[in-house]
Chain A
């Protein structure tokens, strides 16, 4: 008897479902970063607004990368609905705390998919995921560095202005050749 499931798709139903969940999470992050960019702009933090616009674009790129992989492997990619976007923040610092929380949640989620791939011996998807795992190293580093600026520079006097000015200079260079 033919294995029709395998003939149709390289990835199993379980992995496909996990990847679709990740598409949804990336879409949520994309929308949440856009909301944060809006808050920063409205409160006069122009540099940070630009930083979060770029972050939003990156999340959208990640979402599409996952979406196309599911389709390319013969799966059913599901365009997600996005709900529960936070619009208001109590402080400039809270914005960056939220950003770091989001990145940690995304890393944890990728780790779960990687664990499922190992369990199923789906090394093809695992190889695809490696790019995202590496990307998360950079994303978490940048989010953590941004939050650390609040301690290093301080929030008194022109501190917030200085932090906003410094945000665009954060980059992850440790792995550059």
Chain B
């Protein structure tokens, strides 16, 4: 992480997400693995994680009985191999991250753009 202007968006026992205003990107650390994502890539990652159907893993005729999923995001070099519990934890991390980003959006709208307008 070369960026000096990092601000923590959210952290829990699974990981932490920082925002870097200088590079307009996010630094995400999940279970010790660190990655740098653009806004678009972070949204793609959340979209992919949200779309895994965890309940199907436990079906009798599941096509993926191990429950292991490989998550890659195009235009990045990062790859995650996740079990169902990790998928749930990763979702929690990103859900809270996006919630806080949304709160920031509301605050910015009320305090910053309202003054400019």
Contacts and interface: CB of A to CB of B under 8 A. Distances in A.
Interface in B1-20: 7, 19
Contact of A7 (B7, B24, B26): B24
B115 to A, nearest CB: 14
A2 B21 contact: yes
Given A2-B21, A4-B101, A13-B98, A76 B108 contact: no
A76 B7 contact: no
27 contacts: A1-B7, A1-B21, A2-B19, A2-B21, A3-B104, A3-B105, A3-B109, A4-B19, A4-B24, A4-B25, A4-B26, A4-B39, A4-B101, A5-B39, A5-B101, A5-B102, A5-B105, A6-B105, A6-B108, A6-B109, A7-B24, A8-B39, A8-B40, A13-B98, A76-B43, A76-B44, A76-B47
Nearest to A8: B39
Interface of A: 1-8, 13, 76
Residues of B contacting A: mostly: helix
Interface of B: 7, 19, 21, 24-26, 39-40, 43-44, 47, 98, 101-102, 104-105, 108-109
A136 B20 CA distance: 45
A136 B97 CA distance: 38
A13 B43 contact: yes
A7 B25 CA distance: 11
Contacts of B101: 3-5
Residues of A contacting B: mostly: helix
Contacts of B98: 13
Contacts of B25: 4
B27 to A, nearest CB: 12
Contacts of B19: 1-2, 4
B113 to A, nearest CB: 9
Most chain B beta-carbon contacts within 10 A, residue among A1, A4, A13, A76: A4
A3 B108 contact: yes
Question: Closest 3 A-B residue pairs measured CB to CB?
Answer: A3-B108, A8-B39, A2-B21
